[in-house]
């Protein structure tokens, strides 16, 4: 029975993943044309050709020189392409792709993205299915069916989240640890704000997992050092230019501004951090930044203290990851493609369902809402249903309704984070549970068949 459920679940997850890949690729051919990858490709290729990747003019010339490209028709698209804001450590990771012409480069990038992301979601499904195959399949399908933007834009989050998920599975299943170390190290190098708190979870857990975290950090440090030496040799004043780009892209009217003016195309591609929701109450960076840091910082402080002092076990670590993932997305700038990291909560949700049905039901609701409101298709449907609703202006109640309609993702992620933090704090491991060191050193569980 369980084997049949797992076989069917595997087919459903792969089917949903295939739909997202094909749909996202079709959207790319029709218009977006892997815009996010074009940005990192042009920036890194600019560095390869001994130009400053943080200089807007140099990057724009590099972009226009590739295959006779024309400048984007809109200012936001031009800004996203020519204002390079990625960390220097990303250059070394992207360089093997940027060394190729655009055709093979973007094909190889999307191939790696598809393989890494698909493998990660299958591994999270696999880990969750060991507790409950039905719940694991449902959540994995919801996430897999709602990730078109990764394959339409080619954002590095697809690889970063994929590598992070692979590393988590390797560490907690005690298999292919060296692959997990490399994957987490590269994930941190490209987008540390996506996988940084996952790395912190392993560091605070102690024992063999702390060793894995430090090994990953060493890989990130080597990549970062090589990248900094490279970009400093080519452009000695790159740090000032980088800061200028970050300021411009996050300023009023910039494409990364979390305020209300950032909602230029509805809710579908809106920012998912908590600042975006709070800004609808008061559009003042000094207000919504401080409020977001206070809320998320308090929750993260409680989570960190508990992770450091609690007796670690694999089940507890699944809950710890489920609690910190939404807080990762809420505390600073993130978009929908980054939010696919909620896949790390699949095993924790299945675990709670298997151990405590009342808590399991709440876990399914909160995790499902977070996955749906950070998914492209479900957000399109939500926008179609609510687009014509008009509640007037003014009043706290009206503002609250506006937040629900325009920024549902931060609210869903906040509810998910609070719930899993509560579950993590109250979790009493089964009597047969052993410390994580002994669990990882024991014979690993047999794979599902």
| CA–CA dist 387, 318 (Å, integer) | 37
Write down the pLDDT at residue 10: 87
Write down the pLDDT at residue 123: 95
Per-residue pLDDT at 436 exceeds 60: no
Lowest mean pLDDT: which of 59-63, 114-118, 236-240, 252-256? 252-256
User: pLDDT tens digit string along 260-299?
Assistant: 765 454 444 578 888 888 887 887 788 888 999 999 999 9
Write down the pLDDT at residue 416: 95
Contact 348, 318 (CB under 8 A): yes
Share of the chain above pLDDT 90, in %: 46
φ, ψ dihedrals at 267, nearest 5° = -85, -15
User: pLDDT tens digit string along 120-168?
Assistant: 999 999 999 989 899 999 999 999 998 888 888 888 999 999 999 999 9
| CA–CA dist 356, 245 (Å, integer) | 49
Residue 159 counted as domain residue: yes
Six-digit token string for 154: 């080619």
| CA–CA dist 393, 383 (Å, integer) | 19
Residue 448 counted as domain residue: no
**Helix, strand, coil shares, percent, the chain, to 5:** 75, 0, 25
Secondary structure (DSSP) of 114-135: HHHHHHHHHHHHHHHHTT-HHH
Write down the pLDDT at residue 246: 82
Average pLDDT, the chain: 84
Q: Which residues contact residue 39 at a Cβ distance below 8 angstroms, ignoring those fewer than 6 apart?
A: 80, 81, 82, 84
Report the pLDDT averaged over residues 322-344.
92
φ, ψ dihedrals at 279, nearest 5° = -65, -20
Residue 167 counted as domain residue: yes
Residue 321 counted as domain residue: yes
Contact 34, 28 (CB under 8 A): yes
Contact 143, 128 (CB under 8 A): no
Split at pLDDT 50, 70, 90, the class of 437 is low
Per-residue pLDDT at 314 exceeds 70: yes
Residue 334 counted as domain residue: yes
Q: Which residues contact residue 4 at a Cβ distance below 8 angstroms, ignoring those fewer than 6 apart?
A: none
Chain centroid to Cα 146, Å, comes to 13
Write down the pLDDT at residue 444: 44
Write down the pLDDT at residue 385: 78
Per-residue pLDDT at 5 exceeds 60: no
Lowest mean pLDDT: which of 67-76, 84-93, 348-357, 392-401? 67-76
Q: Is the dihedral of CA 437, 438, 443, 446 positive or negative?
A: negative
Q: Domain count for the chain, please give it.
A: 1
* Three-class SS state of 185: helix
Residue 47 counted as domain residue: yes
| CA–CA dist 216, 199 (Å, integer) | 8
Tokens 């992620």 sit on residue: 413
Report the pLDDT averaged over residues 413-427.
92
Report the pLDDT averaged over residues 30-52.
84
Write down the pLDDT at residue 127: 93
Q: What is the crossing angle of helices 75-82 and 56-65, to 10°?
A: 100
Residue 444 counted as domain residue: no
Residue 101 counted as domain residue: yes
| CA–CA dist 54, 228 (Å, integer) | 13
Q: Which residue range forms the structural domain that includes residue 324?
A: 2-434
Write down the pLDDT at residue 67: 54
Report the pLDDT averaged over residues 308-317.
86
Share of the chain above pLDDT 70, in %: 84
Per-residue pLDDT at 209 exceeds 60: yes
Contact 75, 14 (CB under 8 A): no
Per-residue pLDDT at 333 exceeds 50: yes
């Amino acid at each position: 029975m369980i084997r049949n459920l797992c076989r069917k679940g595997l087919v459903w997850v792969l089917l949903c993943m295939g739909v997202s890949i094909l749909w996202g690729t079709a959207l790319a051919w029709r218009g977006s044309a892997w815009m996010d990858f074009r940005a990192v490709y042009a920036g890194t290729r600019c560095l390869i050709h001994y130009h400053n990747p943080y200089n807007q003019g140099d990057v724009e010339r590099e972009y226009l020189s590739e295959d006779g490209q024309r400048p984007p028709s809109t200012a936001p698209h031009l800004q996203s392409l020519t204002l390079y804001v990625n960390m220097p450590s990303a250059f070394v990771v992207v360089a093997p792709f940027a060394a190729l012409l655009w055709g093979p480069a973007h094909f190889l990038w999307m191939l790696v993205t598809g393989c890494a992301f698909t493998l990660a979601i299958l591994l999270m499904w696999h880990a969750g299915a060991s507790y409950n195959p039905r719940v694991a399949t449902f959540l994995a399908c919801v996430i897999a069916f709602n990730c078109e933007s990764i394959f339409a834009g080619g954002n590095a989050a697809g690889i970063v989240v994929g590598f992070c998920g692979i590393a988590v599975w390797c560490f907690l299943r005690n298999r292919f640890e060296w692959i997990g170390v490399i994957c987490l190290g590269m994930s941190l190098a490209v987008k540390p704000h996506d996988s940084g708190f996952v790395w912190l979870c392993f560091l605070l857990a102690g024992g063999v997992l702390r060793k894995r975290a430090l090994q990953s950090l060493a890989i990130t440090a080597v990549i970062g050092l090589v990248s900094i030496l490279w970009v400093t040799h080519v452009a000695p004043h790159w740090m000032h230019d980088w800061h200028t780009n970050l300021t411009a892209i996050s300023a009023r009217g910039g494409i990364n501004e979390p305020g209300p003016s950032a909602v230029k195309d509805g809710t579908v591609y809106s920012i998912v951090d908590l600042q975006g929701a709070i800004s609808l109450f008061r559009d003042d960076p000094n207000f919504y930044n401080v409020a977001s840091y206070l809320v998320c910082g308090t929750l993260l402080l409680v989570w960190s203290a508990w992770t450091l002092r609690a007796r670690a076990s694999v089940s507890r670590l699944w809950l710890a990851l489920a609690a910190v993932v939404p807080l990762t997305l809420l505390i600073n700038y993130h978009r929908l493609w980054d939010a696919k990291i909620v896949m790390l909560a699949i095993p924790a949700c299945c675990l709670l369902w298997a151990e405590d049905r009342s808590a399991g039901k709440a876990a399914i609701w909160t995790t499902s809402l977070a996955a749906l409101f950070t998914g492209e298709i479900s957000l399109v449907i939500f926008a179609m249903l609510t687009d014509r609703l008009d509640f007037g202006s003014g009043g706290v109640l009206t503002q609250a309704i506006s937040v629900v309609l325009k920024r549902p993702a931060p609210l869903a992620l906040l509810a998910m984070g609070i719930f899993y933090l509560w579950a993590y704090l109250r979790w009493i491991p089964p009597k047969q549970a052993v410390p994580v060191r002994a669990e990882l050193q024991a014979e690993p569980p047999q794979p599902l068949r």
